[in-house]
Amino acid sequence: MQLLAAGGALVLLVVLVGILARNGGAQAAEGFDGYIQSGTCSAPTDVVKVELEGDGDHDVDPYLAKSRSGDETVALGYYGSSEVPGFGLAAVYTDRDFSLVITDTESGDPVACGDILEPDADRFGEGGTALVQLLPVGDALVQGVAVIQRTELEREHDMTPTMARVILSSGVEVTTPPEAVDGYDGHIQSGSCESPTDDLRVDLKGEDDHDVNPYLASLDGSGDPVTVAYYGAPRAPGFGFPATFTDQQFSLVLTDPEANEPVACGDILEPDDDDFAESGLALVQLLPAGDSGAQGFALIERTKLQRELDITPTRVPIVLFAPPANT
């Protein structure tokens, strides 16, 4: 296919399922698989089907974090890093339709699907980012958001120039803001969401008007863009990923910029899996405060050190759910 970018695509597949399951509780899925297909979710075709190629048992495996007590683990969701050979972000800007499908590992049946739409805002297009709203298929009760990004090219390495992060919630009711909002700001605080302290406060530093902004995508045949999700990837100056391994508690808070009141919060927990710890990544589940409806997930991730640049080594990608778009 000439319209597909040359080379493979690295898909960092993050499936965050809000099951809040604990050891000994209800059995969660062992993982998910996925693929990118030609056509839309409602009208797929068999012209292109690109299977995700993960390193684990599945394209997406369970993510576990250590509870505050340390006596048990909490299943925050599912996470995976997969390659998609032959698919590049440039395909989003062609006149061909593509969609992302997440499947049940046992039956192979789709459990969630989202059309890959062109970004409406220049800041996302120029930055090489496209978000995909994943909606349930049938009675699967799985939905979420995928972030497809063009990565920095490294000529000395054999790598693929695209990655995607997929965030899902399964088996629980997902809440969304009752009305469209202009965005949210955020900070990391000492203490938990239930028992915060004033020992530490690190304000997130985003590059846009707010730390988390509406992501708009263009629908074919419609002049009005749709809100796919709320997204941001601010830095956290002064907060390092190793802080998650101390005996101090920290939490991530999102606030309404006008009222300066919390709208969502999530405790920052230590990863239970050494693979995540060594890669410098921790997942945070963000739950609504009051009746805000703001719900989603964040990643506390250590960025690559660049000694010649003055950079903050911690980035906090954040995705909040939006009402289903009419695609």
Give pLDDT tens digits for 31-44: 888 899 999 999 99
pLDDT of residue 311: 55
State how far Cα 194 lies from the chain centre: 24
pLDDT band for 278, please (50, 70, 90 cuts): confident
Tell me, letter by letter, the H, E, C secondary structure of 91-128: HHHCCCCEEEEEEECCCCCEEEEEECCEECCHHHHHCC
Q: Is 85 exposed, middle or buried (0-12, 13-18, 19+ CB in 10 A)?
A: middle
pLDDT of residue 71: 77
How far apart are the C-alpha atoms of 148 and 214, rounded to whole Å? 16
Please compute, for residue 254, the number of CA atoms within 13 A of its CA located in the half-sphere on the CB side.
35
The pLDDT, as a whole number, for residue 117 is 92
User: To 10 degrees, the CA torsion angle through 313, 319, 151, 163?
Assistant: 130
DSSP bridge partners of 199: none
**pTM of the complete model:** 0.86
Decide if pLDDT at 321 tops 70: yes
As a whole number of angstroms, the distance between CA 218 and CA 221 comes to 9
Coil, helix or strand for 153?
coil
Give the residue with greater pLDDT, 72 vs 68: 72
59, 73 contact by CB (below 8 A)? no
Please compute the mean of the pLDDT values over residues 90-106 and round it to a whole number: 91
CA distance 15 to 27: 17
Question: What pLDDT does 200 receive?
Answer: 94
As a whole-number percent, the residues of the chain with pLDDT over 70 amount to: 82
| Whole-number pLDDT of residue 5 | 43
What digits encode the pLDDT tens for the residues 153-202?
655 555 556 777 777 776 777 899 988 899 999 999 999 999 999 999 99
Using the predicted structure, report yes or no on whether residue 24 has a pLDDT greater than 50.
no
pLDDT of residue 221: 60
Q: Are 33 and 250 in contact (CB under 8 A)?
A: no
Distance (Å, whole) CA 63 – CA 145: 17
The answer to whether residue 19 scores a pLDDT higher than 50 is no
Most confident of 171-180, 231-240, 303-312: 231-240
* Closest residue by Cα to residue 296 from 183, 178, 168, 147: 168
Grade residue 3 by pLDDT with cuts at 50, 70 and 90: very low
pLDDT of residue 61: 77
268 vs 7, which has greater pLDDT? 268
Mean pLDDT is highest, among 62-71, 84-93, 199-208, for 199-208
- How far apart are the C-alpha atoms of 105 and 102, rounded to whole Å? 9
259: left (phi over 0), alpha (psi -120 to 50) or beta: alpha
Rounded to 10 degrees, the C-alpha dihedral 145/150/155/158 comes to: 30
Contacts of 210 (CB under 8 A, 6+ apart): 182, 183, 184, 185, 232, 257
Give the per-residue pLDDT at 303. Answer: 81
- Beta-ladder partners of 66: 73
Let me know how long the chain is: 327
22 — pLDDT class (breaks 50, 70, 90): very low
Give me the chain's average pLDDT, please.
82
Choose among 182, 171, 178: nearest CA to 288: 178
Confidence check: pLDDT of 130 > 90: no
When pLDDT is cut at 50, 70 and 90, the band that residue 262 belongs to is very high
Identify the pLDDT of residue 18: 47
What pLDDT, on a 0 to 100 scale, did the predictor assign at position 23? 38
For residue 43 the two structure tokens come to 């009208």
pLDDT score recorded for residue 21? 37
